[in-house]
Amino acid sequence: MPSRETGNGRLPIYLRIQDALTAEIARGAWRPGDALPSEDALARDFGVALGTVRKALGALAAEGKLDRRQGRGTFVRRPDFGNAMFRFFRHADADGVPLRPTARLLARRRTRADAGIAAKLGLARGDELLELFRVRLIDGEPILAEEIALDARRFAPLAALPADAFGDLLYPTYERVCGAAVARASEIIRFDRAATRVAKALGVARDAPVAAIERTAFAIDGAPLEFRRSYGPAERFAYALELK
């Protein structure tokens, strides 16, 4: 259960409860998909009115951190990033059913953070990174090449994890092996030319045009967890947006 200590006394009580619950989730008291204690239990624990707890939970739900399910309770939200990248690189079978990509780890190494990566991950320049390089495939055809940078200390168990234990989706692996749950991500899309190892992974010519998607993934408390660059052949890139 969370502590009655709710931080900065100058903040409104419901905001202090928000911060306290976020901190509890960040430290692993509740994992994505877990149910929080009932509203009555939280109100008793914090020593506040039921309406104050409901306001805090409603605000966290509006931020996408919690799911409130009628008649069932409040749960830590588990974001679904599984096929997020493939909204830009669409692939479906003959019946129009989206195809689920597989993944293959091509390389893994320890390296040092340059200034740019350090800033993305909240590290100091020169801090040790764990870098993953992998390819995403559909029916054995490479669709995306991915360069992934992680804090080597926080993700130390991945350094020795067997390649076939990573799975096709990395975020469940981060949570399962390292206790690091991704809550949200931000992306920047641009166009680039394929460097040598990206070209080789995708089976295209060096300097071939590629769509490049840069993603920074964050924990529920806002701490950056992962910086990723994903590259796909530019001719397969499509961006759809409905404006109302």
Q: What is the pLDDT of residues 166-205, one digit of tens each?
A: 999 999 999 999 999 898 899 999 999 999 999 999 999 9
pLDDT at 232 exceeding the cut of 90: yes
CB 21 within 8 A of CB 36: yes
Q: Sort 5 into a burial class: Cβ within 10 Å, 0-12 / 13-18 / 19+.
A: exposed
Residue type, 106: L
The neighbouring-strand residues paired with 192 are 210
pLDDT given at position 214:
95
pLDDT category, 67, cuts 50, 70, 90? confident
* Nearest in space to 20 (alpha carbons), one of 45, 41, 40, 38: 45
pLDDT given at position 233:
94
Task: Round to whole Å and give the CA distance between 206 and 209.
Answer: 9
What's the whole-number average pLDDT of the chain? Answer: 87
Quickly tell me which residue has 């009555």 as its tokens: 40
Intervals of CATH 1.10.10.10 along the chain: 6-76
Task: Round to whole Å and give the CA distance between 61 and 238.
Answer: 31
> What are the C-alpha distances in Å from 14 to residues 8, 31, 52?
12, 22, 6
Q: Sort 208 into a burial class: Cβ within 10 Å, 0-12 / 13-18 / 19+.
A: middle
Q: How far separated are the first and last CA of the chain, in Å rounded?
A: 44
Mean pLDDT over 33-45 rounds to 89
Q: Is the pTM of this model over 0.85?
A: no
pLDDT at 129 exceeding the cut of 80: yes
User: Which stretches within 99-145 are classed as H helix?
Assistant: 115-121
**Sheet with 184-193: strands ordered across:** 102-112, 128-138, 141-151, 224-233, 209-218, 184-193
Residue type, 121: L
pLDDT at 145 exceeding the cut of 80: yes
The neighbouring-strand residues paired with 112 are 128
Task: Round to whole Å and give the CA distance between 113 and 121.
Answer: 9
Tokens read off for 89: 């690189």
Q: What CATH number does domain 84-236 carry, 3.40.50.10420, 3.55.40.20, 1.10.3720.10, 3.40.1410.10?
A: 3.40.1410.10
pLDDT given at position 62:
87
**Under CATH, which architecture does the 6-76 domain have?**
Orthogonal Bundle (1.10)
Residue type, 132: L
Backbone angles phi, psi at 210, to 5 degrees: -135, 150
pLDDT given at position 92:
56
Intervals of CATH 3.40.1410.10 along the chain: 84-236
Tokens read off for 132: 């993953």
